[in-house]
Structure 1
Amino acid sequence: MAASGLARTPLLVGAGTLLATVAVAVRDPHVAGSWGACPLHLLTGLWCPGCGGMRAVHDLTHGDLAGAWGMNPLLVVLLPLAVAGWAVWTWRAVHGRRTQAPRHPAWAWSFLAVIVSFAVLRNLPQLAPYLAP
């Protein structure tokens, strides 16, 4: 496959992400009901790992790092890693190099452990003032 064909997917992912980010920047998720609500939180009262993520992205697009951290610190930490991963994927694709998934699943299990741990910790009453949105 030609380099341009390889680059199509990461470029489309980047364009879609950019469009979604612009939508969240323009329509403020801090306004109740503007983007709906988390079904898990509505049904159980528990904060999922993604709760506050849209508000964090909105705050980041407006230069409010502290506000974003207050909404979802995990997203603020992982977002630069995701952007770096996308940049490497795109660079490799543009230069005709395929990107293969890691052969050992330890990275995926580690990522899952971080997500689950964050979900548990942000729902503990002692940590909720620091981790809940």
Structure 2
Amino acid sequence: MQARNLSARISVLIGLAALPLLLVYFLYDPAHSALFPACPFHRLTGLDCPGCGSQRALYQLLHGHILDALGYNLMMVMALPLILYAAAVQAGNLFRRERRVIRFLYRPWFTKLVLAAVLVFWVARNLPFVPFSWLAA
């Protein structure tokens, strides 16, 4: 029971920390602000990593520009519904007697699938020809 309480407290703290961070992303455009860090991988290699464009995509999403967000980082935008669902289940567990677990998230095949998808996206977004060049940030 104590481990569950600790997990619940950590979840609440993460949620509370996310709110001011989302406000910063709403107020400041990462495409035009020096407030946000540049990707070190992109800076060193000139190539896009799987996360490149995520900050700009988040800004666009917070302003309701879904198509622009997809153009900055397709994978992040596509993964967001699952991430939000998992966060909602975790938040709901704070109020349930029995914890709900999204079982497939903890399966080895899911981890391998996510890793493979990230690697394929990483390579594909750096190919210099259409349609893959559309994935570049």
1:110 aligns with 2:124: no
CA apart distance, 1:13: 2.0
The worse-fitting range, judged by mean Cα deviation, of 79-88 and 100-109 is: 100-109
Q: Could you say if the C-alpha distance between residues 16 and 32 of structure 1 is closer, same or farther in structure 2, counting changes exceeding 3 Å?
A: closer
Ranges in structure 1 where 5+ consecutive residues have no aligned partner? none
- Aligned equivalent of 1:11: 12
Give TM-score, length-normalised by structure 2. 0.84
Is the CA contact (8 Å cut-off) linking 1:24 and 1:57 kept in structure 2?
yes
1:132 aligns with 2:136: yes
RMSD, aligned α-carbons: 2.2
Give TM-score, length-normalised by structure 1. 0.86
Number of matched residues? 132
- Aligned equivalent of 2:90: 89
SS of 2:94 mapped into structure 1: helix
Mapped to 2, the partners of 1:109 and 1:39 lie a distance apart of 26
SS of 1:67 mapped into structure 2: helix
The worse-fitting range, judged by mean Cα deviation, of 20-29 and 46-55 is: 20-29
CA apart distance, 1:103: 5.5
SS of 1:48 mapped into structure 2: coil
How does 1:45-56 map onto structure 2 within 5 Å? 45-56=46-57
Mapped to 2, the partners of 1:71 and 1:121 lie a distance apart of 14
What do residues 91-114 of structure 1 show as CA deviations (whole Å, max 9, x unaligned)? 123213346676532211111111
- Percent pairwise identity: 36
1:64 aligns with 2:65: yes
What do residues 65-117 of structure 1 show as CA deviations (whole Å, max 9, x unaligned)? 11101100111100111000110111123213346676532211111111111
Ranges in structure 2 where 5+ consecutive residues have no aligned partner? none
Mapped to 2, the partners of 1:103 and 1:61 lie a distance apart of 29
What do residues 15-37 of structure 1 show as CA deviations (whole Å, max 9, x unaligned)? 22222221111121011533121
CA apart distance, 1:128: 4.5
Amino acid at match of 2:121: F
